[in-house]
Protein backbone atom coordinates (compact mmCIF):
# COMPACT_ATOMS: atom_id res chain seq x y z
CA UNK A 1 0.00 0.00 0.00
CA UNK A 2 1.49 3.26 -1.03
CA UNK A 3 0.49 6.52 0.60
CA UNK A 4 0.84 9.90 -1.06
CA UNK A 5 0.48 13.24 0.63
CA UNK A 6 0.51 16.66 -1.07
CA UNK A 7 1.87 19.78 0.51
CA UNK A 8 1.47 23.32 -0.74
CA UNK A 9 4.29 25.68 0.07
CA UNK A 10 3.85 29.40 -0.19
CA UNK A 11 7.00 31.14 -1.33
CA UNK A 12 7.17 34.87 -0.74
CA UNK A 13 9.71 36.96 -2.61
CA UNK A 14 11.20 39.44 -0.13
CA UNK A 15 11.10 43.11 -0.93
CA UNK A 16 13.92 45.14 0.53
CA UNK A 17 13.25 48.71 1.47
CA UNK A 18 15.16 51.26 3.49
CA UNK A 19 14.75 51.04 7.27
CA UNK A 20 12.66 53.83 8.74
CA UNK A 21 12.03 55.51 5.40
CA UNK A 22 8.70 56.29 3.84
CA UNK A 23 10.00 55.54 0.36
CA UNK A 24 7.42 54.14 -2.00
CA UNK A 25 7.97 50.73 -3.54
CA UNK A 26 8.32 50.82 -7.33
CA UNK A 27 5.58 49.04 -9.30
CA UNK A 28 7.97 46.31 -10.55
CA UNK A 29 9.10 45.53 -6.96
CA UNK A 30 5.54 45.28 -5.64
CA UNK A 31 4.69 42.78 -8.38
CA UNK A 32 7.62 40.62 -7.22
CA UNK A 33 6.20 40.66 -3.67
CA UNK A 34 3.13 38.65 -4.67
CA UNK A 35 3.13 35.05 -3.41
CA UNK A 36 4.00 32.20 -5.73
CA UNK A 37 2.48 28.80 -4.93
CA UNK A 38 4.57 25.67 -5.52
CA UNK A 39 3.23 22.13 -5.14
CA UNK A 40 5.54 19.55 -3.56
CA UNK A 41 4.46 15.91 -3.55
CA UNK A 42 5.70 13.63 -0.76
CA UNK A 43 5.56 9.88 -1.37
CA UNK A 44 5.76 7.87 1.85
CA UNK A 45 7.93 4.76 1.81
CA UNK A 46 5.91 1.71 0.77
CA UNK A 47 4.73 -0.46 3.64
CA UNK A 48 4.65 -4.24 3.32
CA UNK A 49 3.02 -6.87 5.49
CA UNK A 50 5.63 -9.25 6.96
CA UNK A 51 4.44 -12.56 8.42
CA UNK A 52 6.94 -14.08 10.87
CA UNK A 53 6.65 -17.74 11.85
CA UNK A 54 7.73 -18.35 15.46
CA UNK A 55 9.24 -21.53 16.90
CA UNK A 56 5.95 -22.54 18.57
CA UNK A 57 4.08 -22.48 15.23
CA UNK A 58 2.31 -19.17 15.78
CA UNK A 59 2.60 -16.32 13.30
CA UNK A 60 3.01 -12.63 14.06
CA UNK A 61 2.32 -9.70 11.75
CA UNK A 62 4.76 -6.81 11.28
CA UNK A 63 5.01 -3.90 8.86
CA UNK A 64 8.28 -3.23 7.01
CA UNK A 65 9.40 -0.73 4.36
CA UNK A 66 9.57 -2.63 1.08
CA UNK A 67 8.30 -2.48 -2.49
CA UNK A 68 6.93 -6.03 -2.20
CA UNK A 69 3.25 -6.85 -1.71
CA UNK A 70 3.86 -9.39 1.09
CA UNK A 71 6.87 -10.98 2.82
CA UNK A 72 7.26 -13.98 5.12
CA UNK A 73 10.07 -15.53 7.16
CA UNK A 74 10.92 -17.76 10.09
CA UNK A 75 11.96 -15.98 13.27
CA UNK A 76 15.12 -18.10 13.60
CA UNK A 77 16.40 -17.25 10.08
CA UNK A 78 17.22 -13.91 8.45
CA UNK A 79 16.25 -15.21 4.99
CA UNK A 80 13.00 -13.54 3.97
CA UNK A 81 10.85 -14.32 0.94
CA UNK A 82 8.94 -11.42 -0.60
CA UNK A 83 6.30 -11.58 -3.31
CA UNK A 84 5.33 -8.81 -5.73
CA UNK A 85 2.55 -8.67 -8.29
CA UNK A 86 3.72 -9.58 -11.79
CA UNK A 87 2.01 -9.93 -15.15
CA UNK A 88 -1.73 -10.59 -15.30
CA UNK A 89 -3.01 -14.12 -15.94
CA UNK A 90 -5.70 -13.95 -18.63
CA UNK A 91 -8.42 -16.56 -19.10
CA UNK A 92 -8.17 -17.72 -22.73
CA UNK A 93 -11.92 -18.42 -22.97
CA UNK A 94 -13.20 -15.08 -21.60
CA UNK A 95 -10.12 -12.89 -22.13
CA UNK A 96 -10.57 -11.62 -18.55
CA UNK A 97 -7.86 -11.22 -15.91
CA UNK A 98 -8.24 -14.04 -13.41
CA UNK A 99 -5.12 -13.40 -11.34
CA UNK A 100 -1.53 -12.24 -11.37
CA UNK A 101 1.82 -13.97 -11.49
CA UNK A 102 3.84 -13.48 -8.32
CA UNK A 103 7.50 -12.47 -8.54
CA UNK A 104 9.62 -13.99 -5.77
CA UNK A 105 12.49 -12.00 -4.24
CA UNK A 106 14.76 -12.98 -1.34
CA UNK A 107 16.16 -10.50 1.19
CA UNK A 108 17.80 -10.82 4.62
CA UNK A 109 16.03 -9.21 7.56
CA UNK A 110 17.58 -9.15 11.00
CA UNK A 111 15.64 -7.94 14.03
CA UNK A 112 16.93 -4.76 15.65
CA UNK A 113 17.62 -5.02 19.37
CA UNK A 114 15.22 -2.99 21.55
Using an 8 Å Cβ cutoff, are 36 and 3 in contact?
Answer: no
Using an 8 Å Cβ cutoff, are 100 and 90 in contact?
Answer: no
pLDDT in tens, 90-106: 999 999 999 999 999 99
- pLDDT-based confidence at residue 39 (cuts at 50, 70, 90): confident
CA atoms of 33 and 35, how far apart (whole Å) = 6
| Backbone φ and ψ of 26, nearest 5° | -60, 155
Which of 102, 52, 56, 96 has the alpha carbon at shortest distance from 75?
52
Give the pLDDT confidence score for residue 73 in this predicted structure: 92
Does pLDDT of 14 surpass 80? no
Give the pLDDT confidence score for residue 20 in this predicted structure: 47
- pLDDT-based confidence at residue 35 (cuts at 50, 70, 90): low
Amino acid sequence: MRLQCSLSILILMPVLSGCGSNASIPQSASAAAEPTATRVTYVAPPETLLLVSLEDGSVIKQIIDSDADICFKQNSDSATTCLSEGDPIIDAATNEIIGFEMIENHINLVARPN
